[in-house]
Amino acid sequence: MWVLGLTGGIGSGKTAASDYLAEKGIAVVDADVVAREVVEPQQPAWQAIADRYGKDVLLSDQSLNRPWLRQKVFSEPKERQWLESQTHPRIRDSIINQLRQAESPYAVLVSPLLFESGQFQLTQHTLLIDVPVELQVQRACKRDSNNEEQIRNIIAAQMSRDEKRAKANDIADNSNDLPHLYQQLDSLHQTYLKLAQA
The rounded distance, in Å, linking the Cα atoms of 4 and 124 is 6
Q: How far is CA 196 from CA 108, 124, 142, in A?
A: 12, 9, 37
What DSSP character marks residue 58?
B
b/e sequence 112-122, b meaning 16+ C-beta within 10 Å: bbbbebebbeb
Structural domain boundaries of the chain?
1-26+106-198, 33-103
Neighbour count for residue 110 (Cβ, 10 Å)? 27
- Per-residue pLDDT tens listing for the chain (198 residues): 999 999 998 889 999 999 999 999 999 999 999 999 999 999 999 999 999 999 999 999 999 999 899 888 878 889 989 999 999 999 999 999 999 999 999 999 999 989 988 999 999 999 999 999 899 888 888 876 677 887 887 888 788 999 999 999 999 999 999 999 999 999 999 999 999 998
pLDDT for the residue 141: 84
Report domain 1-26+106-198's class.
Answer: alpha beta
Contact indicator for 28, 107 with CB cutoff of 8 Å: yes
Write down the pTM of the prediction: 0.88
Q: Tell me the one-letter amino acid at 125.
A: H
Q: Quick check: 63 and 40 in contact, CB under 8 A?
A: yes
